[in-house]
Structure 1
Amino acid sequence: MFDHHLTSLLPDTERSRREFVLTSLAAGFALAVQPISAQTISTDTKGITADEVKVPAADIEFPAYRTMPEQGKRFPVVIVIPEIFGVHEHIKDVCRRLAKVGYMAIAPELFARQGDVSKLENIGEVISKVVSKVPDAQALSDLTRCVDYAAATGRGDLKRVAVTGFCWGGRMTWLFAAHEPRVKAAAAWYGSLVANPRNNPDFKPDPLRPKFPIDFAPTLATPVLGLYGGKDQGIPLETVEHMREALAKGKSGSKIIVYPDAPHGFHADYRPSYRKDEAQAAWQEMLAWFKAHGVA
């Protein structure tokens, strides 16, 4: 259930701007990621269904992209958590790829209440105007609603639920794996692991993001596969190693793979950061991880 107290975490200006709640998903790619790379992958819908759906929360119905095979009755479920650019064409394509190999995939627009990231022209605006105003508690509640939705359709198998996400969604993947006991496996793509990765002396904690993956790594129960780039300028390798050490204190069986020459965003085929070989290898690692933990 959506926690009504979440509205108290939002600035007054945000609580009064419910008219900006998104009612539909973006078409195409977010403006902030233009121009689109020639390497961009486009997956067709042959043999699958792909559509926009509404997922009910206590305060709104937020839009999500759902895909699944055309044939079959009950499918393993993967919740796909977007980057800061929301559910634009790349995330939709990821969902179609998952449907092609047998999954029901659901990608929720987790920024629906705060604004439309797809129409902002640069990354700075995307973060400052929308993403920075999204409480973790709100996002986690919406993700739980996606699992509920998958069950309510009668097509999703709640005994086989996984989650994956990229960048902002990578961090949320770690958090959701710790938060939602119905998640059996997770794959987090280059999500931040600690609150202050550069040890900035002027760092101030964000009350909307009170915990980071490293905070609960020793008590994590769900197996998470971390997929990281050795040349990621935003996630120092020492923080990845600290996360490995923290995970080793627990019993989740989680692991982290680092691709030495890959930068941040190496799976994002529509951006210059894309690294085909590493992206394809990591995708196969993810699918194998899900299968090994009963989500296939």
Structure 2
Amino acid sequence: MPTYDALLAETVTLTGHGGDLIEGYSARPLDIAPRGGVVVIHHMPGYDKETKEITRRFATEGFNAVCPNLYSREAPGADPDDAAAAARANGGVPDERLLGDVSGAAAYLRGLTNSNSRIGTIGYCSGGRQSFLAACELDLQAAVDCYGAFVTGTPPEGFPLQVEPIGHLTENLRCPLLGLFGAEDQYPSPEAVAELEALLKQHDKPHELHSYEDAGHAFFAVNRPSYRPQAAVDGWSKVLRFFGEHLNADV
């Protein structure tokens, strides 16, 4: 008798910061086995088909997953490129609003009938910084930062996002952190990654950081010239092992 294998992927409505109703993309296995959930925080280019594919990937790997559209307010229903441009023109997503939206996404996952109430976040690019921020401020059990700029380090003059470094929050980190970086990246630079690791060690926070040679920013992005298959395959294996240990294991 074959094992039942089915997924549900759909657009959902989440209750975000301030009670705002925002769009989200949910993917989950259709069985009753209890499982952890992953909030996928999209990159600066926005809530696009590639991010939705990542969300479905987590469902195929045995997690419930949801990606909140952080640009729902700036450009509801807009093309992802247009929505991202509108968000950049406003300086990006304010940190307080981000935390409210991720909190709402986590509440959605915990409300699913097959949830084991253990939630992690993963973010790419600007989402990497936001995943770290959420791990310092929210009730999470695991967090992954994929080349998130300006956790440490200061944005250059004229940078489109109005963000501040948040390394000082490391002492508040509430869950284990996995960081995946490219050694050829500029934002974050290897120096910024080293500064982050020093802060994590200083505050005795559970973490593992990995940097890939011959990889720069966005090495996970299969649709961009920056894609590095070897780094991406290894990175995926580390992410799935990490979430398996902290979200789906009996702990």
TM-score calculated relative to the size of structure 2: 0.87
Give yes or no for the alignment of 1:118 onto 2:118. Answer: no
Superposed CA offset, 1:94-134 (max 9, x none): 0111111110000000111122461429x7x456325x242
Give yes or no for the alignment of 1:175 onto 2:133. Answer: yes
Superposed CA offset, 1:55-80 (max 9, x none): 12344210101001122243210000
- 1:139, distance to aligned residue in structure 2 (A): 0.8
Corresponding residue for residue 79 of structure 1: 39
Which structure has the larger Rg over C-alpha atoms? Answer: 1
Q: Where do residues 151-166 of structure 1 align in structure 2 (5 Å cutoff)?
A: 151-158=110-117, 160-166=118-124
Corresponding residue for residue 226 of structure 1: 179
SS in 2 for 1:120: helix
SS in 1 for 2:119: strand
Q: Distance in 2 between matches of 1:271 and 1:172?
A: 22
| 8 Å Cα contact 2:123/2:146 also seen in 1 | yes
Corresponding residue for residue 104 of structure 2: 145
**Residues 291/152 of structure 1: CA separation in 2 closer, same or farther (3 Å cut):** closer
Corresponding residue for residue 26 of structure 2: 66
Superposed CA offset, 1:210-246 (max 9, x none): 5x34222244231110100001122211111111111
- AA paired with 1:178? C
Select the residue among 189, 214, 217 that pairs with 2:146.
189
Give yes or no for the alignment of 1:98 onto 2:51. Answer: no
| 8 Å Cα contact 1:223/1:254 also seen in 2 | yes
Give yes or no for the alignment of 1:266 onto 2:225. Answer: no
Q: Distance in 1 between matches of 2:174 and 2:204?
A: 7
- AA paired with 2:42? P
Select the residue among 197, 205, 220 that pairs with 1:244.
197
- AA paired with 1:255? E
TM-score calculated relative to the size of structure 1: 0.75
SS in 1 for 2:128: helix
| 8 Å Cα contact 2:71/2:87 also seen in 1 | no
| 8 Å Cα contact 1:106/1:146 also seen in 2 | yes
- AA paired with 1:74? P
Query: Alpha carbon RMSD of aligned pairs, Å?
Result: 2.3
Give yes or no for the alignment of 1:51 onto 2:10. Answer: yes
Q: Distance in 2 between matches of 1:179 and 1:186?
A: 12
Give yes or no for the alignment of 1:291 onto 2:244. Answer: yes
SS in 1 for 2:167: helix
SS in 1 for 2:62: coil
Q: Distance in 2 between matches of 1:165 and 1:191?
A: 7
In the alignment, structure 1 segments of 5+ residues that lack a partner are 1-45
| 8 Å Cα contact 2:24/2:69 also seen in 1 | yes
Q: Percent identity?
A: 27
- AA paired with 1:111? Y
**Residues 290/153 of structure 1: CA separation in 2 closer, same or farther (3 Å cut):** closer
Q: Distance in 2 between matches of 1:156 and 1:174?
A: 23
Corresponding residue for residue 34 of structure 1: none
SS in 2 for 1:285: helix
Runs of 4+ in structure 1 off by over 6 angstroms are: none
SS in 2 for 1:222: coil
Superposed CA offset, 1:257-293 (max 9, x none): 0001111000011111101110010111111112232
